[in-house]
Amino acid sequence: MNIVITGASKGLGKAMAVEFAQDKQGHHFFLCARHAAELEQTGKELQGRFPRTAIHTKTCDVGDKSSIREFATWINNLTGNIDILINNAGIYLPGSAYGEADGNLEKLMEVNTYSAYHLTRLLLPVMVAAKKGHIFNICSIASLNAYPNGGAYGISKYAMYGFSKNLREEMKPHGIKVTHVLPGAAFTDSWSGSDIDPKRIMEAADIAKMVYAAVHLSPQACVEEIILRPQLGDL
């Protein structure tokens, strides 16, 4: 399969790439991230661990529409078929709606919501033409439940969830599946240096396994929503 993953150099994005690559089916990956060195290292690591795969990487700032357009053009020049698109890239900036830094909302919307909207629109033509494909939009538990000091982050994740739900309805007649993924806290690099017990929250691989499983259903079945929380509940 041809698999596109944004925000793939670490965290959930990397975990999902590993989950698909380790089935040894020789998938082709098209991965992007902001930081070139991290992305290059991840690409080399994946290619070394899974030699049957083809790992293609390109630096992309998903908060910049022109950079997204370049990434999409690069993909379309390399392949005429996309089986899976995982809109995973996202950032977190702390703050409440009334007290956070000016510009937080714009930045978070650009990265967490607009990026998925723009990339999906640019890649959909080949998926619609093929009448198949699966799009995963990585939302958040924050897409469902407001919480104190959620601020612009919560707003952006609510918007991402709305985009994904609308896209699901629009893609039904085209044979393209859409799944909203709403994970709670999972241990990734963003928790490094914190005092959180890794056993208190989920592993990134937990989310990756659920995404992988959702792909491997019959064509007439679609997992619309995946909600995962730590066993002891949200933090």
Averaged pLDDT score across all residues of the chain = 95
pLDDT digits (tens, 9 = 90+) for 179-195: 999 999 898 877 767 78
Q: Cα–Cα distance between 169 and 217 in angstroms, integer? A: 19
Phi, psi at 183, each rounded to 5°: -90, 145
Using N-to-C axis directions, what is the helix angle for 151-171 and 115-130, rounded to 10°? Answer: 10
Residue 8 confidence (pLDDT): 97
pLDDT digits (tens, 9 = 90+) for 116-159: 999 999 999 999 999 999 999 999 999 998 888 889 999 999 99
Could you tell me the pLDDT band of residue 97, with boundaries at 50, 70 and 90?
A: confident
Residue partners of 206: CB distance under 8 A and separation at least 6: 186, 228
Residue 132 confidence (pLDDT): 97
Residue with tokens 């799944």: 179
50 vs 100: which has the higher pLDDT: 50
Could you tell me the pLDDT band of residue 100, with boundaries at 50, 70 and 90?
A: confident
Domains and CATH numbers, the chain: 2-228 (3.40.50.720)
Could you tell me the pLDDT band of residue 99, with boundaries at 50, 70 and 90?
A: confident
pLDDT digits (tens, 9 = 90+) for 148-206: 888 999 999 999 999 999 999 999 999 999 999 999 989 887 776 778 888 899 999 99
Least confident of 75-79, 99-103, 174-178, 200-204: 99-103
Residue 93 confidence (pLDDT): 86
* DSSP conformation letters of 146-211: --TT-HHHHHHHHHHHHHHHHHHHHHGGGT-EEEEEEE--EESGGGTTS---GGGSEEHHHHHHHH
Residue with tokens 């390399």: 78
Residue 146 confidence (pLDDT): 85
Residue 125 confidence (pLDDT): 97
Catalytic machinery residues: 153
Q: Is it the case that residue 52 has pLDDT exceeding 80? A: yes
Residue 160 confidence (pLDDT): 98
